[in-house]
Structure 1
Amino acid sequence: MAFTRTRLFTLATLFAAVTASGSAFAHAHLEHQYPAADAAVAAAPQAITLNFSEGVEANFSGLTLTGPQQIAVKTGPAKRNEKDEKQLIVPVEEALKPGDYQVDWHVVSVDGHKTKGKYRFSVK
């Protein structure tokens, strides 16, 4: 019976440790963005704004913006919002023409984890 209690205690301790440290394995997940995914905007954005579930490191984060006919659009360096470490802002350095655009983003969260993704929007 002592062996069973010891085994149960060990399993319970292991479970508690894994559950409690779940946030240590977190990644910065994209929560919302501007322009929004699948949106059709009337005015071309001057920046792409990405909001994440946790803080990001701007020096190791960024995006590629691809326009109609898969032509890359020139963007500036990614910057973190001074008042919100979860928000990444990338200036668009060219006027966007009407058409479909794809944003391929990558970030490194403040805890060092890498995340990437993509979404599309269009300019009317």
Structure 2
Amino acid sequence: MAFTRTRLLTIATLFTALTASGSALAHAHLKHQYPAADAAVTASPQAITLNFSEGVEANFSGLTLTGPQQAAVKTGTAKRNEKDEKQLIVPVEEALKPGDYQVDWHVVSVDGHKTKGNYHFSVK
């Protein structure tokens, strides 16, 4: 069975559509954060900074911060860095006491996909 020009064009179009759709279905993945995952910091951070693989919508994104004995820590409104749409900054409104903390974050990327995750850090 010989390949005709039409059949080759159809296969090429299908291959292009399949490989291009992977990037269209991308989600905002957490690339790095401050305080870093599993880090031990000596000073209480003034903000939690999250950097993602693609732009995020601050109005639909945020985090909860819990400390020792699962106590909720008051945080401010999540804002996107004015110069970097991939960076979300959440102010910490109270000084963190020594102990272990968990960050539970959720974001909506600029293409509408939702992503969530968590990580830990400690204050000495």
TM-score normalized by structure 2? 0.93
- Matched residues in 1 for 2:66 and 2:74: separation? 9
1:10: Cα distance to partner? 3.3
1:9: Cα distance to partner? 4.7
- Matched residues in 2 for 1:37 and 1:4: separation? 55
1:22: Cα distance to partner? 2.0
- Matched residues in 1 for 2:3 and 2:84: separation? 51
- Greater shift, 3-12 or 50-59, is seen at 3-12
Q: How does 1:1-124 map onto structure 2 within 5 Å?
A: 1=1, 9-124=9-124
Deviation string for 1:42-75 (max 9, x for gaps)? Answer: 0010100000000000000000000000011000
Runs of 5+ consecutive residues of structure 2 not aligned to the other structure:
none
- Matched residues in 2 for 1:118 and 1:35: separation? 12
Percent identity between the two aligned chains: 90
1:5: Cα distance to partner? 7.2
Runs of 5+ consecutive residues of structure 1 not aligned to the other structure:
none
1:6: Cα distance to partner? 5.7
- Matched residues in 1 for 2:65 and 2:56: separation? 19
Structure 1 residue ranges, 4+ long, deviating more than 2 angstroms after superposition: 1-13
What CA RMSD, in Å, does the superposition of the two structures yield over aligned residues? 1.6
Q: Say which SS state the counterpart of residue 17 (structure 2) adopts.
A: helix
- Matched residues in 2 for 1:69 and 1:63: separation? 18
- Matched residues in 1 for 2:115 and 2:44: separation? 26
Q: Say which SS state the counterpart of residue 11 (structure 1) adopts.
A: helix
- Greater shift, 54-63 or 7-16, is seen at 7-16
1:12: Cα distance to partner? 3.5
